[in-house]
Amino acid sequence: MTFSCPHYDYNAEGCRKLKVECIPGRVGCVLRGKIKVSEDIEKRLRELEKTNTRRKKRQEVL
């Protein structure tokens, strides 16, 4: 990564705030809406959104 975030845990290589993999701009990230991310990260964010949408739909059915 070519940035520095106070929430990034270099030992665990993840987000200390969200306790998940660091994907800058993800829901809950302090940088969400404040930065322009690379195409690769945009793709990962879209995949994450799809996964979250599928999970929400499954929960609505239950």
Both structure tokens of 4: 């520095």
- Name the segment binding ligand SF4 (CB under 6 A); options: 27-35, 36-44, 45-53, 54-62: 27-35
Terminal-residue alpha carbon distance, the chain: 39
Residue placing its CB nearer to ligand SF4 in the complex, 3 or 62: 3
Kindly calculate the radius of gyration of the chain based on its CA atoms and give it in whole angstroms.
13
Dist CA 5 CA 3 (whole Å): 7
**Shortest approach of ligand SF4 to residue 61 CB, angstroms?**
29
Write out the residues near ligand SF4 by the rule CB under 6 A. Answer: 5, 7-8, 15, 17-18, 22-24, 26, 29-31
